[in-house]
Amino acid sequence: MSWAEFLPSATEVDQFVADNSVEWTLTSAAPASTSNTSAADQRPTKLQKQDIEKELARVLRESDAIKKNEPVIDWLDANIGRSEVQTPEMIRLLTTVVAESVIDGIGGPTNQCQLNEEKLNLRSAILKLYLDQHSRLELSVLLALQHLMQRLEHPNKLLHAIFEKLYDNDIVSEDGFQSWEKNDDPAEQEGKGVAIKSCTQFFTWLKEAEEEEED
């Protein structure tokens, strides 16, 4: 039996137990009957951020052998839900894990970190699916990469190479890159200066391409 069977439905059980100093009754209490449990209560427990990162990295590694994105997308849809993935926080997490999976040499010296272009070309489809051309989510992608580069101590030309692929594969638009370049949020400035400097040539090319298009 449980306190919930005896108390009015509006009563918070935890609060009642604490107020009456009967916490000891919970240690031996059997689980309440699930016959009247709502569908929402029967949903799987929400995964914590570190669990998502760990499991997603595992699925990415396992799907490398078959060079397909379907196992990754199926896992995300089943365990997170598409609408939940399409939030700034989850896009940042997804971008970080995907980026780590396409960078060779992580864990070694900074100068050994190299972009695996073949893997990024494959995994770009995952990001493109969930971004769905949402500009606010494009900014989340670039912020995630900014902080990843900071953690990796800014490997030479790595961010530049990733930016080029994101643009070429239509993952991040010109407006998305400009939004990141102009972003002045105080909470998002760590590593920003070094990141911008490392991509000077990319942004110069982007602006020249824009001017030529306008002409």
- The pLDDT of residue 39: 39
Looking at the chain, the whole-number percentage of residues with pLDDT higher than 90 is 71
Asked if residue 87 is part of any domain, the answer here is yes
Asked if residue 211 is part of any domain, the answer here is no
Q: How many domains does the chain have?
A: 2
Where is average pLDDT lowest: 19-28, 108-117, 198-207?
19-28
Q: How large is the average pLDDT for residues 3-13? A: 65
Whether residues 98 and 189 fall in one domain: yes
Asked if residue 190 is part of any domain, the answer here is yes
Q: How large is the average pLDDT for residues 197-206? A: 95
| Domain region containing 14 | 3-42
Asked if residue 208 is part of any domain, the answer here is no
Q: How large is the average pLDDT for residues 84-90? A: 96
Q: Is the pLDDT of residue 15 over 90?
A: no
CB of 39 closer than 8 Å to CB of 23: no
Beta bridge partners of 104: 114
Q: How large is the average pLDDT for residues 192-211? A: 92
CATH number, residue 117: 1.25.40.180
Distance of CA 180 to the CA centre of its chain: 17
pTM of the model: 0.77
Asked if residue 73 is part of any domain, the answer here is yes
Whether residues 98 and 168 fall in one domain: yes
Summarize pLDDT for 121-177 with one digit per residue, the tens: 999 999 999 998 898 999 999 999 999 999 999 999 999 999 999 999 999 999 999
End-to-end CA distance of the chain: 77
Asked if residue 205 is part of any domain, the answer here is no
Whether residues 14 and 60 fall in one domain: no
Whether residues 23 and 94 fall in one domain: no
Rounded CA gap, 213 and 215, in Å?
A: 5
Whether residues 150 and 76 fall in one domain: yes
Whether residues 120 and 88 fall in one domain: yes
Whether residues 10 and 66 fall in one domain: no
Whether residues 130 and 181 fall in one domain: yes
**Cα Rg for the chain, rounded, in angstroms?**
23
- The pLDDT of residue 97: 98
Q: How large is the average pLDDT for residues 198-215? A: 85
- The pLDDT of residue 210: 74
Mean pLDDT of the chain, nearest integer: 86
Higher pLDDT: 38 or 185? It is 185
Asked if residue 209 is part of any domain, the answer here is no
Whether residues 116 and 176 fall in one domain: yes
Whether residues 112 and 73 fall in one domain: yes
Summarize pLDDT for 31-66 with one digit per residue, the tens: 444 444 443 333 344 689 999 999 999 999 999 999
Asked if residue 212 is part of any domain, the answer here is no
Whether residues 24 and 60 fall in one domain: no
Looking at the chain, the whole-number percentage of residues with pLDDT higher than 70 is 78
Work out the pLDDT band at 21, boundaries 50, 70, 90. Answer: low
- The pLDDT of residue 30: 40
DSSP symbols for 122-137: HHHHHHHHHHTT-HHH
Whether residues 70 and 147 fall in one domain: yes
